[in-house]
Amino acid sequence: MKAFDISTNDLIGKPYKNNGIGPDEYDCYGLISECMRRAGYPPPPSLVIPYSHAGMGTLASREKVLWQKQNTGSFGCVILLTIKGYSCHCAFQLNNYYFIHAWESGGVSIERLPRWKRRIEGFYRYVPVDGL
């Protein structure tokens, strides 16, 4: 496995739990918050990641943050994914080829971006904004 900018070895295999924020169980948002913390980013204040570009804008104005849509992903981006035709899942990008996510079928795992290419709705970078 390729090296990443943060250590995730202790997270791999942890079970999925709806509203799980760790350290023993995670849902996709809880895992993103933990990865952001490990990377030195402030975690988003919301307990919900909105699953559309419009939802990102609504959350940004309410919580004084900015979700910047990126053309391509890089380390630290939140990836919005569609599952069974619905935008309902998010992951944390580890590098240009891998992301980590928590999902019901497999718990916390690392996946290759190309395998999920058709399901990627967008890449977003979280930026706290003063005075929004």
Helix (H), strand (E) counts: the chain? 3, 6
| Helix/strand/coil for 77 | coil
Closest CA to 123 of 67, 84, 44: 67
pLDDT of residue 68: 79
User: Between these two residues, 5 and 19, which has the higher pLDDT value?
Assistant: 19
State the alpha helices, DSSP H only, in 2-131: 28-38, 53-63, 113-116
At 57 the pLDDT is 46
Name all domains of the chain by residue range, CATH numbers in brackets: 28-128 (3.90.1720.10)
pLDDT at 116 over 80: yes
What number is the average pLDDT over the span 37-66? 59
| Across 44-53, 65-74, 96-105, 118-127, least confident range | 44-53
pTM to 2 decimal places: 0.81
> Judging by DSSP bridges, how do beta strands 78-83 and 86-93 pair with one another?
antiparallel
Q: Write the DSSP symbol of residue 24.
A: S
